């Protein structure tokens, strides 16, 4: 049985004080044991998150990482910095990074390898745009992205990767893929991973769904056979709704 993993991507929301408040509220929530809950606040709130979450089962992640190890890369944050700040997970290749910062599958693949090489877990995002879905090329796009982001990652590391399928048209729009639509792509990803690795490895890889996941649609999405969790944006900014999604598993 794959573990259910719910990650909250705070994106560019919450200053240090607001983060502390949300984390304190999160800490008070009762979260279902057996589900891994991860928060990914902005970099500036990571150390505060470690302080507040001490003794809690909630894990910490970052929203991105630099490909560089250190040096003259103004504005970048290295994997070593994230590790020392207390992160265990790193989101790479979110569709907003792909869209606004022109991140390619090749770059995302290199970042995923960097994260793995340092003993952290990458949450690697893939997903088609509305235009691609309407053009009937969802399968082609997702296949290319999964192959691209997993390229050269050996089986023993592949099993540690979390893949987040996030149809771009469902992110922040309130439009969710129907459970059947989501399951169809998740199954496609699982089948692809079987051909890239093996059935055993494919069976171990956690594939999350993301895109307007809310307390009221989480249960149905998460009950699909190949949906192993969620990457949550908007709904993770309130402690009770994030907890409700965790507890919907
Ligand atoms: P959303 O964002 O839940 O606000 O749609 C999801 C994401 O971008 O990971």
Return the pLDDT at 60.
Answer: 98
Which residues make beta-bridge pairs with 37? 6
Return the pLDDT at 175.
Answer: 86
Nearest CA to ligand 1 atom 3: 233
Active site residue 24: no
Q: How many CB atoms lie within 10 A of CB 72?
A: 6
Please state, in angstroms and rounded to a whole number, the distance separating the CA atoms of residues 156 and 249. 27
Return the pLDDT at 172.
Answer: 87
Return the pLDDT at 193.
Answer: 98
Helix (H, G, I), strand (E, B) or coil at 3: coil
Active site residue 166: yes
Return the pLDDT at 86.
Answer: 97
Burial pattern 206-228, b for ≥16 Cβ within 10 A else e, equals bbbbbbbbbbebbeebbebebbb
CATH superfamily of 4-247: Aldolase class I (3.20.20.70)
Q: Helix H segments across 86-198?
A: 95-100, 105-117, 130-134, 138-150, 155-158, 179-196
Query: In whole angstroms, how far apart are CA 225 and each of 152, 177, 236?
Result: 27, 15, 23
Q: Where are the domains of the chain?
A: 4-247
Nearest CA to ligand 1 atom 6: 233
Contact 192, 146 (CB under 8 A): yes
> For residue 71, how far is its CA from the centre of ligand 1 (angstroms)?
32
> For residue 131, how far is its CA from the centre of ligand 1 (angstroms)?
18
Mutation pick for ligand 1 pocket among 172, 176, 182, 214 (CB with most ligand atoms within 8 Å)? 172
Please state, in angstroms and rounded to a whole number, the distance separating the CA atoms of residues 62 and 24. 19
Return the pLDDT at 174.
Answer: 85
| pLDDT average per 10 residues of sequence, the chain (249 residues) | 94 98 97 96 98 96 98 98 98 97 98 98 97 96 98 97 96 90 98 98 97 96 97 98 97
Contact 92, 125 (CB under 8 A): yes
């Amino acid at each position: 049985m794959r573990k259910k993993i719910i990650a909250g991507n705070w994106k560019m929301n919450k200053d240090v004080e607001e983060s502390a408040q949300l984390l304190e509220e999160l800490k008070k929530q009762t979260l279902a044991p057996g589900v891994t809950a991860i928060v990914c606040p902005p970099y500036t709130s990571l150390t505060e998150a470690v302080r507040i979450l001490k003794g809690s089962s909630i894990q910490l992640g970052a929203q991105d990482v630099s490909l560089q190890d250190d040096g003259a890369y103004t504005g970048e944050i290295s994997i070593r910095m994230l590790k020392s700040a207390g992160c265990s997970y790193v989101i790479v290749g979110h569709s907003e990074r792909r869209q606004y910062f022109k991140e390619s599958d090749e770059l995302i693949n290199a970042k995923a390898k960097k994260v793995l090489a340092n003993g952290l877990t990458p949450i690697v995002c893939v997903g088609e745009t509305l235009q691609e879905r309407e053009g009937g090329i969802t399968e082609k796009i997702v296949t290319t992205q999964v192959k691209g982001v997993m390229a050269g990652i050996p089986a023993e590391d592949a099993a540690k990767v979390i893949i987040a399928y996030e149809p771009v048209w469902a992110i922040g729009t309130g439009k969710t893929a129907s459970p059947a639509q989501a399951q169809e792509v998740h199954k496609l990803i699982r089948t692809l991973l079987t051909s890239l690795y093996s059935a055993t490895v494919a069976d171990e890889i956690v594939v999350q769904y993301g895109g307007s996941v809310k307390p009221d649609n989480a249960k149905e999405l998460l009950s699909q056979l190949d949906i192993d969790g969620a990457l949550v944006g908007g709904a993770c900014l309130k402690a009770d709704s994030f907890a409700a999604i965790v507890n919907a598993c």
